[in-house]
Amino acid sequence: MSELKQTRTIAIVGRPNVGKSALFNRIIGRRVSIVHEQEGVTRDRVVCETEWNEEHFELIDTGGLGTIDSRPTGDVLVNRTNEQVEVAVSDAAVIIFTVDLTAGIMPMDEEVARVLHRANRPVFIAANKADNASRDEETYGFDALGFPVFPVSALHNRGISALMEAVLPELPEGEKPEDRDPLRVAVVGRPNSGKSSYINRLLKGDRVIVSDIPGTTRDSIEIPFTIGKGPQARHYQLIDTAGVNRRNRRSGAVEHYSNMRAEESIDSADVVVLLMDASEGPKLQDKKLAAKIMEAKKGCVLMVNKWDLAEEADGVTQTQYEPALRKEMPFLGFAPLLFISAESGYNVKRSIDTIDYVAGQVETKLTTGVLNRVIQDAMAKNPPPIVKGRPLKVYYATQSGTKPIFIKLFVNNTLRATDTYKRYLINQLRKAFGLEGAPVELKLVPRPRPDLEEKKRRS
């Protein structure tokens, strides 16, 4: 395990189904991680910047550990989950070790504890599911794990303050960050796809004019939108764009201006929601919008609106509809897809969680060591093609930016990297790190061979 880093980061770890994600959501004050009784729902790290009593820090939610030792299990998802937990522990300054009070100490808890004792990090045990004061005495048995124990209930918000009062002083000193701009979310689509209805449903009010007449929204309207209160509130700037029409000779100045403003809204957004009409399926203009989102390298969420009408009229199911849609728009295969109804409210609340999730993915920071391991494993599994007599060699990989996820590959020769092979490497990165909805860019940088450079200096 690496030496302690001076980052204000707290990682929540533990075996599956002990309530890590529920505790994560309780601390940040809003629902980001998916909470479900099924084991293994959280597979990748979820990172969120938040604050507690004016103390700013990053909080990491990790997948449940299926095994802790370094031996592969044969289960790819378990291996990837364990790798993500390893990265989280390495990055964290403090660790919250979550256990299930009602289950007592399990063998996997003891295995996690042994690893954390070697991690050289302050560790605090959150004995979750202490739903009332009478259960607090049951925490004494967990002292055997060798860390301070705090009875908590993520469900009933018990004991969280006492836990955080112990955790926060262990964080390294850091400057209070400046207030950030709200998350900019552009909602785009063809005329009458339901963009304004969707935003009105989110706002629970008629902030945007809604009409059955295509093209009612001529300009891009920006609307501040806040979820929650106090320091944990999440601030949005929702951008309702004009419906994008196909340009032709009869298009007037208003249509041209509307299309231009919609494209500008995509350029200025952090995340773009591409809204489509379920009854019509993806049209040419939907595909052009998708291409614009790709060109602008923006986070993307695909939403199919009016799903209730299509389901009732055609009897089609989501499992039937999604493959057909993905086939029509394969270049956005990385974007999450959600079926909604702005009219009935179906999945509208869930759409906020999805947008928030993608917003976090576009700012993902990949640890250099794990990044290089994934690249080398991908190349070993599927070697690059021979180009001009020699294959591509990757000496080193590092992340150089976010929004999009920007990866630099230092290689022997940039001309030996085919577009197909670069797409393969990007797909392998997605399999390893998730990155749903986030664009990934590879920049190849030639690195001279040391032996050739030495010969040049001698000659």
Annotated binding-site residues for GTP read 14-21, 61-65, 128-131, 189-196, 240-244, 305-308
Cβ atoms of 90 and 367 closer than 8 Å: yes
Distance CA 283, CA 290 (A): 11
Distance CA 201, CA 245 (A): 24
Cβ atoms of 267 and 296 closer than 8 Å: yes
- Burial of residue 370 (number of CB atoms within 10 Å: 0-12, 13-18, 19+): middle
How many Cβ atoms from other residues are within 10 Å of residue 10's Cβ? 27
Q: At what angle do helices 160-167 and 20-28 cross, to 10 degrees?
A: 80
Closest CA relative to residue 429, chosen from 89, 80, 91, 64: 80
Binding site membership: which residues? Answer: 14-21, 61-65, 128-131, 189-196, 240-244, 305-308
First-to-last C-alpha distance (Å) of the chain: 45
- The radius of gyration of the chain from alpha carbons, rounded to an integer in Å, stands at 25
Cβ atoms of 99 and 18 closer than 8 Å: yes
- Sequence-distant (6+) residues with CB within 8 A of 318 are 307, 339
Q: Quickly tell me which residue has 């450079």 as its tokens.
A: 453
Cβ atoms of 154 and 22 closer than 8 Å: yes
β strands within 306-379, DSSP E: 337-339
- Sequence-distant (6+) residues with CB within 8 A of 76 are none
